A and B are shown apart, each in its own frame.
Chain A
Amino acid sequence: MQSLNAPFPFRFFIASALACTLLAGFARAEVPEPQGFFMGPLHDDVPATLSGARVVHPQELASLLEQGNAVLIDAASFPRKPENLPPEAIWKPAPHENIPGSIWIPGIGEGDIDKNIEAYFRERLSALTGSAFDHPLVFYCHPHCRASWNAAKRAIGYGYSNVIWFPEGAEGWRDAGHSLAAAEPEMPSRPSH
């Protein structure tokens, strides 16, 4: 039984290993910072930098969090249920997990942010930082996720001067040996139209 299946997957894995090597090379070719925000799909390659922000990797983030006062903001989006999913299909998004102590506000990383969400985002930033514009703010979502880049850039635009971007995201944090915790999203109480 196994022998029949062996050649095809094997060939496939060689091909995909090759593709990975090639594409990893491409991925490292810089994605430039856009003028404004990333519009459109948010799951894609990200730039290495964000002007006006400090980029940190797991080790630096760990020591930053040890200092205790940084505000952690998860910009991951929320899964959208397709309206035409068959009634018998099971729709059951998995519990969202992020870095313990984070505030999760879906929608703050959209290229074209909803007005209600933006107002809520500004309000929350102000409350979380005690209106101190130099308070450290860390933004992240997933690997290859532009939502945190957009959200961090937005915060810089609002005047925050100590903005930190963590491109590896929740999965990168876990891969570095840290734990994640189940999280509930925060959103404006009045639904947007």
Chain B
Amino acid sequence: MKRFGWAVLAGAVLFGGPALAQDDEAARAARWSDLAKEIFGGKPLQSGDAKIALEAPERAFDAALVPVSISVQNPADVKSIYLVIDGNPAPVAAHVTFGPAGDPKSLKLRVRVDQYTNMHAVEETKDGALYETHRFVKASGGCSAPSGSYAAAALADIGQMKLRVLDGPQAVNAREVQLLIRHPNFNGMQRDPQTQGFTPARFLKSVDISLNGENLLHLDSDISLAADPAITFSVPAQGKGKLVVTARDSDNAVFEHSFDLGEGRS
């Protein structure tokens, strides 16, 4: 009896782990294949290991605020970037299309993660090819997590924006700029701590950014962006002038701000 117990234990240790990992892997691959078909209409995706990189914490402390960073090897070839969170009920977290004033070099977002999931970053090139890379993230509950600071009264400053220039000493060819938009991005799955009822969804649907009247980027998103969306993107190092941001939300509210993008640090 005792010996049998040990044999079972040894079996579990030797075979249980890898077999389970394979099951999980197979389920995740099936989910991605389903999603990819729906998002990209059956167009083939190629491995993007040499093209696009995706950074995210392996285990996120706050599932409602998971930082994600995407960078591409050949910015000049890139038309758009998709961020897909496979396990979220609305998996396409963001689709960013770059305009002539844009630089797809790097893109950072903060997202909600509902369950342990693969995340995919997909690069769409100007000639229509698709390259994907992915990463497994352990986080759960980000979609129903309460939006702490958002009582109805706190909506007073909805749509306010801030722009931070993050350039460091390496900023020779481009600099990074972080746009912060005050918006609860309610996803309809959160409860109001006071009334206990579900807070109706209200989320950013699109953000357009232009530099001196020229399109820099267009972002489509819905309920997977974290509250107070933060979008970090690159602008050419010599890029200065008027940066105009127009954000639209699901209540058809339009928020517009313009910033004076000076030279170097601001």
Which among B57, B108, B115, B250 is the interface contact of A16 at CB below 8 angstroms? Answer: B57
How far apart sit A80 and B189, CA to CA, in the bound complex (Å)? 6
Chain A residue contacts of B189, Cβ below 8 A: 79-80, 82
Query: Which residues 195-211 of B have a CB within 8 angstroms of A?
Result: 196, 198, 200-203, 205
Tell me, yes or no, whether B67 is within 8 Å of chain A by CB. yes
In this complex, what residue of A is CB-closest to B178?
Answer: A8
Within the complex, which residue of A91, A177, A179 is in contact with B89, where a contact is CB–CB below 8 Å? A91
- A50 close to chain B: CB less than 8 A: no
Looking at the assembled complex, report how far the CB atom of A81 sits from the nearest CB atom of chain B, in whole angstroms: 7
Q: A43–B145 contact, CB under 8 A?
A: yes
Q: Mark B146-173, 1 if CB is under 8 A from A, else 0.
A: 1000000000000000000010101101
Number of residues in A with C-beta < 8 Å to the partner? 49
Give the A-B contact count at a CB cut-off of 8 A.
143
> Contact at A79–B57, with CB atoms within 8 Å?
no
0/1 interface trace, chain A 1-35, chain B, CB 8 Å (1 if under): 11111011100110010011001000000000000
- Chain B residues with Cβ below 8 Å from A93 are 89
Given A1-B73, A40-B146, A90-B92, verify A145-B141 contact (CB < 8 Å).
yes
- Known contacts A40-B146, A40-B196, A43-B141: A16-B61 contact under CB 8 Å: yes
- B139 → chain A closest CB, angstroms: 10
A20, A79, A91, A145: the one contacting B143 at CB < 8 Å is A79
User: Could you say which residues of chain A place their CB within 8 Å of the CB of B141?
Assistant: 43, 142-145
Are A94 and B196 in touch, CB under 8 angstroms? no
Q: When the two chains form the complex, which single residue of A5, A90, A177 contacts B106, counting CB atoms closer than 8 Å?
A: A5
Main secondary structure of the interface of A (DSSP, over half): loop
B143 in contact with A94 (CB, 8 Å)? no
- B110 nearest CB across to chain A (Å): 10
B187 and A4 within 8 A (CB): no
Within the complex, what minimum Cβ distance (angstroms) separates B236 from chain A?
A: 13
> How long is the Cα–Cα vector from A182 to B115 in the complex, in angstroms?
14
In the complex, the answer to whether B146 meets A4 with C-beta atoms within 8 Å is: no
In the complex, the chain A residue whose C-beta lies closest to that of B69 is A9
Instruction: Tell me the minimal C-beta distance from A23 to chain B in angstroms.
Output: 7
Tell me the count of chain B residues lying within 8 A, CB to CB, of chain A: 66
* Cβ-neighbour of A41 out of B88, B105, B146, B251 (below 8 A): B146
Judge if B42 is at the interface, Cβ distance under 8 Å.
Answer: no
Task: Verify B61–A79 contact, CB threshold 8 A.
Answer: no
Q: From residue A67, how far is it (CB to closest CB) to chain B in Å?
A: 14
**B31, A94: Cβ atoms under 8 Å?**
yes
**Neighbouring A residues of B67 by C-beta, 8 Å:** 9, 12, 16
A5 adjacent to B69 (CB under 8 Å): yes
- A94-B176 contact given A23-B61, A79-B189, A179-B20, CB 8 Å threshold: no
Instruction: Mark B127-153 against chain A: 1 for CB-CB distance below 8 A, else 0.
Output: 000000000001011011110000000
Residues of B within 8 A of A82 (CB): 187-189, 200-201, 203, 223, 250
List the B side residues contacting A94 at CB < 8 Å. 31, 86-89, 114-115, 117
A92 touches B89 (CB 8 A): yes
Chain A residues with Cβ under 8 A from B263's Cβ? none
20 A-B residue pairs with CB within 8 Å: A4-B174, A8-B166, A8-B168, A16-B67, A39-B196, A43-B144, A79-B114, A79-B143, A79-B189, A82-B203, A84-B250, A85-B90, A91-B89, A92-B35, A94-B88, A95-B31, A97-B27, A171-B138, A177-B17, A177-B20
Given contact pairs A42-B144, A92-B38, A177-B17, a sample of 20 additional A-B residue pairs in the complex whose CB atoms are under 8 Å apart: A1-B71, A4-B170, A5-B71, A8-B176, A9-B55, A19-B61, A39-B196, A40-B191, A43-B141, A44-B145, A80-B198, A82-B188, A83-B188, A86-B205, A90-B91, A92-B91, A143-B140, A171-B138, A174-B24, A177-B16
Task: Pick the 6 closest A-B CB pairs, nearest first.
Answer: A82-B188, A82-B201, A41-B146, A43-B141, A93-B89, A79-B89
